[in-house]
Structure 1
Amino acid sequence: MNGVNSSQPPARSAKPRGRRLTAPERRESILRAATEVFSETGYLRGRTSLIAARAGVSEPVIFNNFGTKPALYAAVLERAVMSVCRTLREAALGGESVPQVLGRFLEPAHVERFHRPGAIGFLFADASTLTSDPGVGEAAGEYLRAFAAELADLLRQGQAAGGIRAGINADAAAWWLLSMVATRAFRATAMPGADSLEADLTAMTLATLTTGI
């Protein structure tokens, strides 16, 4: 999909060959491997032994670099949220209107790809189930709030430009959008006629938020 392309899976981890990794390179390789594992299995089933194997290091190296599994997950989630926020921001700065950016981001096929295991959107749905977890709940809530804040800023930008309805509460609308994205997997398994209704949900959402696209 052109424009907003936040459904791309994380780059596969790769260890440079023929030389010893620097400390920043080792940390980066661990983050890449952890992003792969957590976006495929979620936090609870993501094993640090598998992350270590993919990064080509021992488990103690992971803990030496990140301290704990929750801290590693928080670093992965921060990177994923910042990546999607940057993609949305760049699309808006690149000449697309805010309604166009939202339309691309909420397009059902894009949201479906965004949530496939292995794609970074899977992390958002996973994080939304962990906000009460004593280990990672605080970090999950923090980065979901950061994503909602980015969406709210985007909506306010659209209001200033005239594409988003002036009477819309941007903060409330941002959480509405984030909730739609986070609950896609639930709808896919429970909602009859999911493909058709997803398209209708997207159209209704855009019609409610925008002044016409």
Structure 2
Amino acid sequence: MSTPRKRLPAAERRESILAAAAEVFGEYGYSAARTDAIAQLAGISQALVIRSFGSKEALFIATAERVVDHVAEAFHAAIAGADERERVESRLGAAYVRLAEDRGALVTLLHLFTLGHHPTIGPIARESFLRIYTILREEAGFSADRATTFLATGMLVSTIFGLRLQSQDHPLAAELLQATFRENTGLVSDLFGG
């Protein structure tokens, strides 16, 4: 006789679904991701995933919003924790790279930003991107040029993770990683066992 599963509180179950969804959406993108794969990874039924969120679209939006919230929280903490001797940009870069510990999060963010054409997801993607830009401009004190360069590097970081270039044994991949991550290259190696 099997032991009955312990029922998780709703908040824990929601977080479990969103963490699994970030991994699956990060791996397959919005279109190809399947709610049954998310349910399996979360260790619950597909019916419970749908009942919790209503649709795959709503689940993707909640997952993307969770990732953007994590980026914002990481950036707020990096800015607040910087003293006058530290470069805020370096702290923000390290905070962004550490978000890769949440499997699929940065690639889910990349998928979100490619859905600007989607009638429902597009406005959320634009608002989310501008939320991050606002933190860089208003809290970190970056100029518009510095903020756009930082965002471009962030998109490159997400692309590298999406392509899994950090796991490639190729001299140009290693060069690209070093040029992109600079002082955070060791952190990427630690995160991915390189």
TM-score (normalised: structure 2): 0.68
Q: What aligned pairs does 1:25-174 form with structure 2 within 5 A after superposition?
A: 25-97=12-84, 100-106=87-93, 111=97, 118-156=103-141, 168-169=143-144, 173-174=146-147
Candidates 177, 186, 194, aligned match of 2:176:
194
- 1:34 Cα deviation from its structure 2 partner: 1.0
Q: Secondary structure at 1:77's aligned position in 2?
A: helix
Instruction: Tell me the distance in 1 between the aligned counterparts of 2:29 and 2:87.
Output: 31
Aligned partner of 1:10 in structure 2 is none
- 1:197 Cα deviation from its structure 2 partner: 4.6
Superposed CA RMSD in Å reads: 3.2
Greater helix fraction, Structure 1 or Structure 2: 2
Amino acid at match of 1:131: G
Aligned partner of 1:8 in structure 2 is none
| Shift in CA distance, 33/91, structure 1 to aligned 2, threshold 3 Å | same
Aligned length: 167
Aligned partner of 1:181 in structure 2 is 154
Contact 2:116 2:123 in 1 (8 A): yes
Provide structure 2 residue ranges, at least 5 long, that are not aligned to the other structure: 166-171, 183-194
Provide structure 1 residue ranges, at least 5 long, that are not aligned to the other structure: 1-16, 157-163, 201-213
- 1:66 Cα deviation from its structure 2 partner: 0.9
Contact 2:24 2:104 in 1 (8 A): no
Q: Secondary structure at 1:30's aligned position in 2?
A: helix
Relative contact order, higher structure (CA 8 A, sep 6+): 1
- 1:63 Cα deviation from its structure 2 partner: 1.7
Residues 26-85 of structure 1: per-residue CA shift (max 9 Å, x gap): 222211211221223322222111001122222222221111111111111111111121
Percent of residue pairs bearing the same amino acid type: 30
- 1:98 Cα deviation from its structure 2 partner: 9.3
Consecutive aligned runs of 4 or more in structure 1 exceeding 4 Å deviation: 113-117
Aligned partner of 2:187 in structure 1 is none
